[in-house]
Structure 1
């Protein structure tokens, strides 16, 4: 091994699974690796022993502390291939990692993983086929012997690796390919949260010249928000247009800055103004006799980089440049690895600096702290200098730490430094009230990498009840840990965060407006709004892009930066640059108690609010998917373009587009599950001239991530739940003037779950930290709390029925609530107050909405919109409302067919089937569309109660249907048209006695005719009981052997019209073949004991009646 500290070795160790050693060597790589005594020559076997010793120590430490090991070395880590690209990973001698490890231990290497499984051929007894052992089929529904079911998404690229024996799913019955398509993972809000930043990423085209490598990136000042990229033979400026709509393709303009040098490396840079900057370069050139030499030059560029001036040709190897705008001074820091040089330049025409000083140890960073003072740090070095008539040392602080990075907070005057010594990380704080003592604290996280300040003018209360200090400092580590520190009380950690999937955090930075925090590494970017919640609000993952777009294994310096207006951030590695738009979440949250907005089997005790924000809900869903390994079967960024049922083969044929690569794939499945829900196709208002509007235009479901609403005139159309969340959020932004156009009257209810506020004494919707801690530590207490939430929701179903006391009481309560909130604007109260019963339109609790309508920067407009022009909305009353941006919070096309062609039996399109009305059987099956199931389809939502319970219930029903298909050799299963008609007849009869039959505009109803197509005809509990026992006689079946053109050989000896009880097999069970669990029916968990002396008194039957 020539040099352990070089990036290829580090990457190799990461790929081979040697996390601990990789991290240690990474730290060694950062600073002057050639000076390390062990970094020049080492034998491969010694490397392996070093790695194994580190892992062994980690295991011993975990055992002693009763914790999990931080690093693992399992069978996967020893494989001689890369998890990223499949290439062989070898040391210089070409020996795979697992072989080296085996030789070092004197052990034999493990055999390579098997690619296929050999099965014994089953026998046929009495014409009934003996079922083989479970087959390996990656695209299958796996029903294990314990009843666990896995659904795989059969959209698989041909290049994907076949799972190994240990990883492959099995099929206990007939292999069934099941494809689930959807816009969500089972939850829906009317304003779509956008937490995945990948889809809108813009990649700067790579340099074809391998000699040009990006080593530094820097965004220009706010007057010139351009991205500067500098490095090896490279100094370019990139201008990337902002996207006014998600569908718009941004333009990229790139220009070279003119430098009077060739074959150079940019070592540092800093901006002076929007068109002036200074760079330091090291130029490789040759003298008169042909000898290679290096010249270090300091160059100022003006007029946007088109004019350059060499300040000095003997500036030294500069690693840091800092500009002082108050006195027009330029500070440069140089080091040769052993000593440091400090220069201050005050005149660009001078070839020598105005002031110079030298240090006995290397200097790594510097920062101006006043207009006449700056601080420098380095190896056991921390000094403050004063620039007056001369350059003097203001103070030198004793330290034994190597400080690598320094940051300064101008509001408080606090200086923070990050350092490392003996592989331990340290944080140093210098307070202005104690300017002679550098308070040093050992960090609890290994391998700290970066730090940043966020300036706050006052203490702010968070949604979880805690507070952010006036001055906040954050640190990050290579292990993905992010800590927020209150530097007014040094070393008090106020927040502990982790990056998405615990990915590396090499850089960390607050957005310039201080609202968001980003931590990033080559593999991922994680963003938090730490004032509101501890979970990330957005993330970006490299794995969602092909390697020709972003390859995290590329060598080079990694950098992170924010656009000056905080709307975009950039990451760069090697010759790769990605610009990522960052969304602003405007109030999107659930409007029912969060503890009812979760799966029954996965309680979350850590909801920060009774009405959790969308990013928190998305984080919960992602955690659930990862915990139960559902991510194995999910294909993100794949767009369904068409689905067609083939009657001859009894297969669904699906056309899929990979949005990351642009490739179109063809796939097929036995069962198709639509998880699109019924609120996903935006409904745009039909307004004359809307297409001529030249300002920003967006729908609440297709939010423009990059648009800055501050200091804008905004028109909001709509008064539904989306508008009610958006209007108060826009009203609170600086400088906004909001015009809300309200066509429909509506009830604005108090927050759902108000009784919980009263019972637990909540002052706000935030759940106090002490209560969340009790939820987490006392499962029984939290379970009782959840029961209370669910029972309250299920106990108000009578509010949806006409004439009930609960309905009358709700109407009186809502009336008083609205009147009180709008007492300063009674005209708005009269304009909003409806004549229909509460619930006819979706009940909309709107914390802050009614209050926002009374504010001076909100105009409440009820006059109908006549037309739109290039810059305004014109209403029927003759008024013109000038706006800069238009927000259409006008809901969705409820129960609509998907936007892609979906064709059923005999070529019937779903659009024709649902032309006049969307009809189903029990909300999940459609006559004429075999083996198709819908989740949250027509008549699937709920007027009161838990929607997530409905989703789980329908999911269980679908699983039962798939098991029947598998077990009984069914090729096609489709609901009878008569039963579909029966269900719709029942739906219409039920809703006649409900408030939903009142005259009102609602997405619940079929446009034009008024039938209720969005809601389940009953309560949540009614739906649960309905779905518990399927009526299989309501379906028609075609069996595999009845298909036209069935190949006899494919039936393995089973003839047509064979015994429908062939599933009985040969009289044996799989457990007998495996010779285990031969008396499972005596296991306590499977014994259903009757109650003595009267079995019918079983409490279970009283709670949940026995059904079929």
Structure 2
């Protein structure tokens, strides 16, 4: 048995010794303390420095310790979609105040639906305020990811192409891989015969708009626009006044809906007075953002590739994706669910550190059951109608993208990881090695540690505090007086039950 001596009523940390090997060769590690992030240094790698990557840079910096976080981004800077998409009038179809991080509400949005450059400016401000670029490496594309079971790590292959330099290929390892590339990072040309070999004019995709293609170049051109989706609806008004002629080819009509009560001008500007109020009164800023979020989340209620809860995949250990299949892309605020997945990842990091997890993977049978539920739910929604959409496989008709419920429903479902749904492997042969020598972090400290954190003033019931501790009998007297008024005819006292009926006591 290890020996120890008492120091001021607690055991000195230097005298915690590991037990000698037992009959089966197992011994308790001395350097393991319950809920101590120093138990294990974690390396987390995020692919992409868009909205998801920026969010994770902030959350891991704020919420976790002993974590080395690296982010690799193929572009020259942060922003993802909002850096790449700069076609005329490119904008978000989510109200600006609903497209902000919970930790960084923004009083200076210039308009109800902000344009691409304005959203990028906001993301840049977030990165600068919290010094998040220090985790990011730009001009670097992930070319492959390979799970190494013996090491409990991902091998990530990368290719870096810095301006004016030769390409460099290298490898990284990580304990947890976060996939934050988003939905709009791999655009493609439409399958139109002759588009590239027979058409002699200029072919431009909105997702890769040339910087030199401006209204000066349009004024003498006849322009044909293929499609009537979101990018078409934004691009055409920006081009039409300046072109010689413009045609729009539409396969199917678009569906429009009112968003957050904005039935008027979609380019509604916030006045200087409104923005000044948001600066002076953060509560007013919060109330405005909440009013938009509440309306968006209720507007679309609970209305191939498969995933576990839209954030993980069987056979991919230690892997979390943002906006995966069966994710709430269609029925409310995007940022709420996105940040819920972020906090989910934070909890996973802490569990891997505290309990010595080598790997965790969603069970295939659990994932299959979940997706059977999803497909049954989808049968009763509009998304199965005979039309093309990016929510489903347009060849088979199977709906792949939809969460079976509301946005708020998703956030509450993933609020706490369901570890019973995982296949888990531990580094130690005995999983209970995570208990160490049986000490917590406060007990490891010599001075100033709180060894009774369960005793808190806020844990005392307000009624007990007022009547017993503070000795205020008036509240009890009033309650007893009210109780006399509710005496039944047989002398029994009654009180109102939650259903409005009287219940005997």
Structure 2 length as normaliser, TM-score? 0.75
1:586 paired residue among 72, 81, 88? 88
Question: 1:636, CA displacement in angstroms?
Answer: 1.6
Whether 1:945 aligns to 2:332 is: yes
188 and 722 in structure 1: CA distance in 2 versus 1, 3 angstrom threshold = farther
Residue in 2 that maps onto 1:349: none
Q: Distance in 2 between matches of 1:764 and 1:651?
A: 48
CA distance in 2, matches of 1:674, 1:172: 19
Change (3 A) 1:172 1:710: closer
Q: Are 2:423 and 1:918 equivalent residues in the alignment?
A: no
Preserved contact between residue 45 and residue 178 of structure 2 (Cα < 8 Å): no
Q: For each residue in 1:503-552, what CA deviation from the matched residue of structure 2 results, as whole angstroms up to 9, or x when unmatched?
A: xxxxxxxxxxxxxxxxxxxxxxxxxxxxxxxxxxxxxxxxxxxxxxxxxx
**Matched residues in 2 for 1:595 and 1:729: separation?**
24
CA contact (8 A) 2:307 2:325 kept: yes
- Per the TM alignment, residue 940 of structure 1 is displaced from its structure 2 partner at its CA by 1.7
**Aligned partner of 1:1033 among 411, 420, 431:** 420
- The 8 Å contact of residues 179 and 673 in structure 1, kept in 2 or not, is answered as no
Which residue of the partner structure matches residue 725 of structure 1? Answer: 234
**Separation in 1 of the partners of 2:355 and 2:38?**
20
- 2:251 is the counterpart of 1:739: no
Q: Partner residue of 1:617?
A: 119
> Distance between the aligned counterparts of 2:266 and 2:63, measured in 1?
53
Distance 1:933 1:1074 in 2: 38
Conserved 8 A contact 1:713-1:738: yes
Q: Is the 8 A contact 2:111 2:270 kept in 1?
A: yes
CA 1:1082 to 1:632, structure 2 compared with 1: closer, same or farther past 3 Å? farther
Q: Secondary structure at the residue paired with 1:591? A: coil
For residues 208 and 47 of structure 2, the distance between their equivalents in structure 1, rounded to whole angstroms, comes to 28
Pair 1:1063-2:450 in alignment: no
Question: How is 1:269-348 mapped onto 2 (pairs within 5 angstroms)?
Answer: none
Matches of 1:123 and 1:780, distance apart in 2: 53
Partner of 1:382: none
Runs of at least 5 residues in structure 2 that lack an aligned partner in the other structure: 1-12, 21-26, 49-60, 465-505
Q: What does 1:885-900 correspond to in 2, within 5 Å?
A: none
1:967 pairs with one of 321, 335, 354: 354
Q: If each structure's helix is expressed as a fraction of its own residues, which one has the higher value?
A: 2
Structure 1: gaps spanning 5 or more residues: 1-118, 142-150, 156-168, 196-583, 802-916, 1042-1056, 1094-1108
Matches of 2:89 and 2:15 in 1, distance apart?
A: 60
Q: Distance in 2 between matches of 1:1027 and 1:135?
A: 23
Please list the CA deviations of residues 999-1029 of structure 1 after superposition, one character each: whole Å capped at 9, or x if unmatched: 1110001131112112222111100110012
Q: String of CA shifts for 1:602-657, please: whole Å, max 9, x gaps.
A: 11011000001111111111222232232221112111111111122222111111
Distance verdict in 2 for CA 1:602–1:1024, change over 3 Å: same
Matches within 5 A, 1:223-622: 585-622=87-124
Contact 1:640 1:656 in 2 (8 A): yes
- 1:827-870: CA deviation from partner (whole Å, max 9, x where unpaired): xxxxxxxxxxxxxxxxxxxxxxxxxxxxxxxxxxxxxxxxxxxx
Aligned to 1:674: 179
Q: Is 2:132 aligned against 1:647?
A: no
The Cα of 1:703 is off from its aligned counterpart by: 1.8
More strand by share: 1
Distance (Å, rounded) in 2 between the aligned partners of 1:170 and 1:779: 22
Q: 2:218 aligns with which of 710, 735, 739?
A: 710
Counterpart for residue 626 of structure 1: 128
Q: How big is each residue's C-alpha offset from its partner over 1:14-48, in whole Å with a ceiling of 9 and x where there is no partner?
A: xxxxxxxxxxxxxxxxxxxxxxxxxxxxxxxxxxx
Does the residue aligned with 2:123 lie in a helix, a strand or coil?
helix
Q: Any residues of structure 2 matched to 1:81-100 within 5 Å, and which? A: none
CA–CA distance in structure 2, aligned partners of residues 183 and 946 of structure 1:
27
- For the structure 1 residues 997 and 963, does the alpha-carbon distance in structure 2 shift closer, same or farther, using more than 3 Å as the test? same
| Distance in 1 separating the partners of 2:106 and 2:151 | 44
CA-to-aligned-CA distance 1:160-202 (integer Å, 9 cap, x gap): xxxxxxxxx99998x666665667999876xx5438xxxxxxx
Give the direction of change, closer, same or farther, for the CA distance of 1:789–1:171 in structure 2 (3 Å limit).
Answer: closer
What residue is the counterpart of 1:638 in the other structure? Answer: 140
Match of 2:450 among 1067, 1074, 1078: 1078
Matched, 1:130 2:35: no
Aligned twin of 1:786: 289
Contact 1:939/1:1016 (<8 A) preserved: yes
Residues 934-980 of structure 1, C-alpha deviation per residue, up to 9 Å, x if partnerless?
Answer: 11111224222110111001111122122212211111111110011
Which residue in 2 is equivalent to 1:701?
A: 207
3-state SS, counterpart of residue 170 of structure 2: strand
Give 3-state SS (helix, strand or coil) of 1:129's partner. Answer: coil
* 2:47 and 2:179 in contact (8 A); partners too: no
Compared with structure 1, are the counterparts of its residues 746 and 172 closer, same or farther at alpha carbon in structure 2 (3 Å cutoff)?
closer
CA contact under 8 A between 1:942 and 1:1019: conserved in structure 2?
no
CA shift for structure 1 position 988: 0.6
Distance 1:1036 1:955 in 2: 21
Q: How many residues align?
A: 424
Match of 2:372 among 985, 989, 999: 985
Does structure 2 retain, via aligned residues, the 8 Å contact 1:186–1:675?
no
C-alpha distance 972-136 of structure 1, shift in aligned 2 (>3 A): closer
Q: Aligned in 2, Cα 1:993/1:153: closer, same or farther, shift over 3 Å? A: closer
- 1:690 counterpart (181, 195, 200): 195
1:194 matched to 2:84: yes
User: Structure 1 residues 964 and 765, CA, compared in 2 at 3 Å: closer, same or farther?
Assistant: same
Q: CA deviation at 1:1087?
A: 4.5
Q: 1:1066 to 1:597 in 2, by over 3 A?
A: same
**Number of the residue aligned with 1:23:** none
Q: Helix, strand or coil: the match of 1:984?
A: helix
| Distance in 1 between residues matched to 2:120 and 2:225, nearest whole Å | 26
In the other structure, the counterpart of 1:776 is 279
Distance of 1:170 and 1:1065 partners within structure 2: 27
CA pair 154-188 structure 1, distance change in 2 beyond 3 A: closer
Contact 2:47–2:72 (CA<8 Å) still a contact in 1?
no
Structure-to-structure mapping, 1:208-223, within 5 angstroms: none
State the shift of 1:122 in Å.
7.4
| Matches of 1:742 and 1:1016, distance apart in 2 | 29
DSSP 3-state at the match of 1:787: helix
User: Is the 8 Å Cα contact of residues 923 and 940 (structure 1) preserved in structure 2?
Assistant: yes
Deviation at 1:136, TM superposition (A): 9.3
Q: 1:739 aligns to what SS in structure 2? A: strand
Contact 2:73/2:141 (<8 A) preserved: no
The answer for the alignment partner of 1:211 in structure 2 is none
Counterparts of 2:102 and 2:62, CA distance in 1: 27
Contact 2:359 2:425 in 1 (8 A): yes
CA distance in 2, matches of 1:1040, 1:154: 26
Cα pair 1:180 1:674 within 8 Å, conserved: no
Q: Offset at 1:1082?
A: 6.8
Give the SS at the match of 1:1010: coil
- 2:418 and 2:337 map into 1 onto residues whose CA distance is 18
Residue deviations 1:1068-1094 (CA, integer Å, cap 9, x gap): 33344252342583797x95555658x
User: How much has 1:736 moved relative to structure 2?
Assistant: 3.9
Of the two structures, which has the highest relative contact order with CA contacts closer than 8 Å and spacing of 6 or more? 2
Within 5 Å, which residues of 2 pair with 1:138-157? 140=42
Over the residues paired in the alignment, what is the CA RMSD in angstroms?
3.5
Is contact 2:327–2:403 with CA below 8 Å preserved after alignment? yes
Residue 665 (structure 1) aligned with residue 173 (structure 2)? no
